[in-house]
């Protein structure tokens, strides 16, 4: 199988491609922050790793929040979702800032897809505010604030997962 065949098979599994540039992602994170700014102040930002690391850094900077923690949950391969595995929970000191239930804490992720990861983090921090940059319909009810909704069959290609390369014109069969 050639690289091109493998790439085509991955796209077929993934659904509609939605590539996001660094510039667009930064703008979307700042738009998310505009919405969150009126809801705070927040004691800490909790990033869901790995996808939530970049938006959490941008949001924390824009909101002036200095305490940033992570909840490390593995659920994705590069092209498919698997079982959830909690690699690291929230730290005790951050949990205390949220009174043990997450009140005053801001959870940030890049995307809510099926909602499996969101449900798990909600169990850990039921009173935290949950924000994502992008939301799909199955996971959307779990999120308090988001910027863009995409269809369930859309696969978002985040800028940290892609590289610049030549793309053939659409009329020549490009997706």
Reported as a single tens digit per residue, the pLDDT across 61-104 is 999 999 999 999 987 665 556 688 899 999 999 999 999 999 99
pLDDT for the residue 19 = 93
pTM of the model: 0.83
Give the pLDDT confidence score for residue 162 in this predicted structure: 86
Give me the domains of the chain, ranges plus CATH numbers.
40-159 (3.40.50.2020)
Express the helix, strand and coil content of the chain in percent, nearest 5 each: 35, 30, 35
- C-alpha to C-alpha distance for 74 and 52, rounded to whole angstroms: 12
User: What is the structure's pLDDT at 81?
Assistant: 61
- 3-state DSSP assignment of residue 174: coil
Instruction: Answer yes or no: are the C-beta atoms of 141 and 115 closer than 8 Å.
Output: yes
**Looking at residue 163, what is its pLDDT?**
81
Q: What positions carry a catalytic annotation? A: 109-110, 113
Ranges of residues in the chain whose predicted pLDDT is under 50? none
- The whole-number pLDDT of residue 167 equals 72
């Amino acid at each position: 199988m050639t690289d091109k065949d493998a790439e085509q098979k991955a796209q077929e599994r993934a659904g509609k491609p939605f590539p996001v540039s660094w510039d667009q992602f930064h703008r979307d994170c700042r738009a998310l922050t505009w919405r969150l700014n009126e809801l705070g102040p927040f004691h800490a930002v909790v990033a869901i790793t790995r996808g939530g690391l970049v938006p959490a850094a941008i949001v924390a900077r824009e909101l002036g929040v200095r305490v940033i923690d992570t909840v490390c949950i593995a659920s994705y391969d590069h092209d498919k979702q698997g079982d959830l595995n909690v690699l690291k929970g929230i730290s005790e000191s951050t949990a205390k800032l949220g009174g043990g239930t997450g009140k005053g804490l801001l959870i940030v992720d890049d995307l809510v897809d099926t909602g499996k990861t969101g449900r798990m983090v909600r169990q850990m921090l039921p009173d935290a505010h949950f924000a994502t940059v992008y939301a799909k319909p199955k996971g959307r009810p779990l999120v308090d604030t988001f910027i863009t909704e995409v269809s369930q069959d859309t696969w978002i290609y985040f800028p940290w997962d892609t590289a610049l390369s030549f793309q053939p014109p659409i009329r020549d069969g490009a997706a």
